[in-house]
Structures are given as C-alpha cells and as structure tokens.
C-alpha cells in the first residue's frame, strides 16, 4: 500500500533517508522533503568557512538536487506548525501537507534572550548562513579599521569563532580586531580543568580576551553591558550562547523534554504519536539526554532510516544506541586544533588535520548524490 513519508528538514539525521529515496520509491512510497533552504550546511565546518579554510560550497549539501534527482518532491519553505491530530504539517504560506509517517529534523537556533538595540550588529552562530554574513562584514570592515568584537557565550563555539576570525583577518591582510569572549559561567565549564586551561592559553596567546562569570545583559549600538554593570565597546557582537530546539516543536503542541525538544523514545519515535519520528538537535532523547552536537545526528541516520521504513511497512523498529564517547576536535584557527577522545587530549596542527580529514570525508560521502 502506497504511503507518504514527509521529511521535515534536510539536516544531518536525514541524510541516509534522503540517500535512500530511490529505494523507498521502488517500494511504492511517496516522499516529500520540506526545508527552508535548498542547502544544508554542515555546522562542524562553519568556523572553518568563517576563517576561509573552506568555501561555502564545500560545507553544504544541495538537498533540493539530492531529492529531485531521485524523483521525489522538494518544497523550499519553512514549517509553521504540526497538527498531529490531523497528520498535517502547516507551512508558512498557509498550505497544509498530509503525511502517513513524519520525521522531524528541523535543527536548533541560538538560545538568545539578550535585549539589543535595533542598530546593533549581531550575528548568531546558527544558522550557518549567518556566519557567511559575518565573514563578508569582517572582510569589508577590518580592511578599514580595527574593530572591537564581543562574543557572547563560553562554549566551544565561542572559542572556534574567535580563533577563525583571527585567521580570516590574517588571510585578507586586515587590521586585527580586539576580540573578547564574555562567558556567563566559567569558560568551557563542562570540560575538564586541563582542557579549559590549554584552550584558554591558546586563545590568549592569539590576543583574545576572556571574561568569565559576567554575562551580557544588554547590547547597545556600539557597546555591550554586562551583569556587573561594566560597559565595553563592541562594533560587532557574535552570539554563541548555546542552542535550543527549533520553536516549531513547541508551537505544535507535541510532547517535549526540559529543553523544549520533541520527546522521543529509544526508537527516535514520539510515543504519543507513533507515526512521528525525529532526530538531531530538535529532539529530547528521553532514555539519555544528548548534547546538541552533530555527532549524535549522524549516528541517528541509519536507525532513523530503518524505523521510518519499518513504520511505513508496519514492521518492527530498531532501538537507537547513542554509542561510545565521541571524538571532539576544536578548530581554533590558523591550522590549530584541540583533540579530545575519552581522557586523551592534544593540540596543534595534527589535531586540526584529523578533523579536516574526517569532515571532508563525511561531506564527500553525501555530496556525490547532488
């Protein structure tokens, strides 16, 4: 019996399913893919794109081409909400799309709530297209003068953005900016003391200032105001304050976890609506909450493909197992990386080369389907 599979989002967790569209069609199913852009950018290479190591084309998938080449339907539009009772997705245009099985992979956005002046120049680290705009702005303005750049947030993204801004300006021969990271808690608070100290040392040696335990509370047109009451100049603000699941989940009255992501069971399935599945940053995995990192979305690829196919054909589902601790490499710019796997860490050019090899191999695997 022919059924309709609707993929909401073209992100990391949907790549294997998108690659298998031709097989699903041969089994008699209809596939629709809805995404706000024909391109999906690989977030792990975003800082490298900012620094000029990669071009935008090298870090993105042409999802529209991947879908249409296999004879399925791609709709370039943003979802407004999901009506689970009617089994419909409502688009921003007002159009509704029905489904038999739905998979949600709509990603995340920066968890930002800092009051800001209308004239302030603010660039969130997500979506990655914002990093491209930041790169264009920095390329133009740092050739004219030395900028003050404030980065909100004390996680890995802030470290990677700071290091790659320095790399970018070095490459174009601009005036090196004055960069300060403002962290609400300790810098890299969820990592070990040795990692904090070493990454901080690398950045400070590059001229980056790090302010801890004093978050931004307001952004003015040319300054930031901290919780302590201190004011610091800022021509440009980069927001790297962590991410939250796409708001489309909450707008849809679907069951959510504490992080407001779609609550899914061990099958990546919404227990209240068994025809709905999800993956990536927009889900809350109730068995074991997962960090918002692309590694888990990639690991969900094959289990999600199996379970979507099984749901379409009323066959048994397979459980998703998050797996062992993942390899993490920070791209700190200028060809320098910081490598972490279990308790083993090191930094330098080899660390970045390992990340570069893994990332390029991942991209090549799916870009060949474009």
CATH number of the domain that 259 lies in?
A: 3.50.50.60
pLDDT of 14 higher than 80: yes
Same domain, yes or no, for 259 and 234? Answer: no
Q: How much is the pLDDT for 119?
A: 82
Q: For residue 96, what are the contacts with CB-CB under 8 A and spacing of at least 6?
A: 83, 86, 88, 89, 90
Domain boundary among the residues 217, 241, 265 is at: 241
What percent of the chain shows pLDDT beyond 90? 86
Q: How far apart are CA 238 and CA 130, in angstroms?
A: 10
Q: Is residue 125 part of a domain?
A: yes
Same domain, yes or no, for 142 and 219? Answer: yes
88 near 98, Cβ under 8 Å? Answer: yes
Domain boundary among the residues 225, 241, 257 is at: 241
Indicate the pTM of the whole model: 0.93
pLDDT of 1 higher than 80: no
Rounded mean pLDDT, 206-226: 94
Q: How many domains does the chain have?
A: 2
Ranking 89-103, 220-234, 243-257 by mean pLDDT, the lowest is 243-257
Q: Is residue 29 part of a domain?
A: yes
Q: For residue 343, what are the contacts with CB-CB under 8 A and spacing of at least 6?
A: none
Cβ neighbours, 10 Å, residue 91: 17
Containing structural domain, residue 235? 112-241
Same domain, yes or no, for 164 and 121? Answer: yes
Same domain, yes or no, for 135 and 235? Answer: yes
Rounded mean pLDDT, 225-252: 91
- Per-residue confidence band for 342, with pLDDT thresholds at 50, 70 and 90: confident
Rounded mean pLDDT, 122-141: 94
Q: How much is the pLDDT for 245?
A: 87
Rounded mean pLDDT, 333-359: 95
pLDDT of 358 higher than 90: yes
- Per-residue confidence band for 115, with pLDDT thresholds at 50, 70 and 90: confident
Q: How far apart are CA 307 and CA 269, in angstroms?
A: 9
- Per-residue confidence band for 157, with pLDDT thresholds at 50, 70 and 90: very high
Structure tokens at 95: 């159009």
pLDDT of 325 higher than 80: yes
Phi and psi torsions of 346, nearest 5°:
-160, 165
Q: Is residue 334 part of a domain?
A: no
pLDDT of 369 higher than 90: no
Q: How far apart are CA 51 and CA 361, in angstroms?
A: 20
Same domain, yes or no, for 81 and 169? Answer: no
Same domain, yes or no, for 261 and 312? Answer: yes
Q: How much is the pLDDT for 116?
A: 85
Cβ neighbours, 10 Å, residue 110: 22
pLDDT of 160 higher than 80: yes
Q: Is residue 337 part of a domain?
A: no
Rounded mean pLDDT, 7-20: 95
Same domain, yes or no, for 92 and 120? Answer: no
- Per-residue confidence band for 291, with pLDDT thresholds at 50, 70 and 90: confident
Cβ neighbours, 10 Å, residue 281: 27
Structure tokens at 350: 């080899």
Rounded mean pLDDT, 115-120: 83
Same domain, yes or no, for 87 and 171? Answer: no
Same domain, yes or no, for 194 and 223? Answer: yes
Same domain, yes or no, for 260 and 196? Answer: no
Q: How much is the pLDDT for 292?
A: 85
- Per-residue confidence band for 336, with pLDDT thresholds at 50, 70 and 90: very high
Q: Is residue 188 part of a domain?
A: yes
Same domain, yes or no, for 232 and 287? Answer: no
Q: Is residue 97 part of a domain?
A: yes
Q: Is residue 330 part of a domain?
A: no
Domain boundary among the residues 184, 214, 241 is at: 241
Q: Is residue 137 part of a domain?
A: yes
Same domain, yes or no, for 236 and 118? Answer: yes
Report the chain's mean pLDDT, rounded to a whole number: 94
């Amino acid at each position: 019996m022919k059924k309709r599979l609707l993929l909401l989002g073209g992100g990391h967790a949907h790549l294997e399913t998108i690659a298998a569209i031709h097989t699903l069609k041969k089994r008699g199913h209809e596939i629709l893919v809805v995404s706000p852009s024909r391109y999906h950018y690989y977030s792990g290479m975003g800082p490298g794109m900012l620094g000029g190591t990669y071009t935008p084309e090298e870090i993105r998938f042409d999802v529209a081409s991947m879908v249409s080449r296999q004879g399925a339907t791609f709709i370039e539009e943003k979802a407004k909400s999901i009506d689970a009772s009617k089994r419909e997705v409502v688009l921003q245009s007002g159009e509704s799309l029905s489904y038999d099985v739905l998979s949600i992979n709509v990603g995340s956005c920066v968890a930002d709530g800092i009051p800001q002046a209308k004239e302030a120049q603010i660039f969130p680290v997500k979506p990655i297209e914002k990093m491209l705009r930041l790169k264009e702005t920095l390329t133009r303005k740092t050739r004219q003068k030395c900028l003050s750049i404030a980065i909100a947030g004390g996680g890995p993204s802030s470290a990677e953005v700071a290091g790659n801004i320095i790399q970018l300006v070095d490459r174009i021969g601009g005036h090196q900016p004055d960069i300060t990271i403002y962290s609400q808690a300790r810098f890299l608070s969820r990592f070990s003391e040795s990692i904090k100290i070493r990454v901080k040392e690398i950045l400070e040696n590059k001229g980056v200032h790090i302010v801890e335990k004093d978050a931004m509370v307001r952004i003015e047109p040319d300054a930031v105001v901290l919780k302590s009451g201190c004011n610091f100049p800022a021509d440009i603000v980069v927001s790297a304050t962590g991410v939250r699941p796409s708001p489309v989940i909450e707008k849809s009255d679907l069951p959510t976890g504490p992080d407001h992501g779609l609550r899914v069971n061990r099958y990546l399935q919404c227990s209240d609506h068994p025809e709905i599945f999800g993956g990536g940053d927009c889900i809350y995995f109730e068995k074991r909450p997962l960090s918002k990192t692309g590694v888990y979305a990639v690991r969900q690829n094959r289990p999600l493909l199996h379970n979507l196919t099984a749901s379409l054909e009323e066959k048994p589902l397979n459980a998703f197992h998050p797996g062992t601790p993942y390899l993490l490499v920070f791209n700190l710019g200028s060809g320098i990386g910081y490598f972490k796997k279990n308790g083993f860490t090191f930094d330098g050019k080899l660390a970045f080369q390992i990340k570069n090899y893994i990332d390029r191999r991942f991209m090549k695997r799916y870009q060949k389907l474009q």
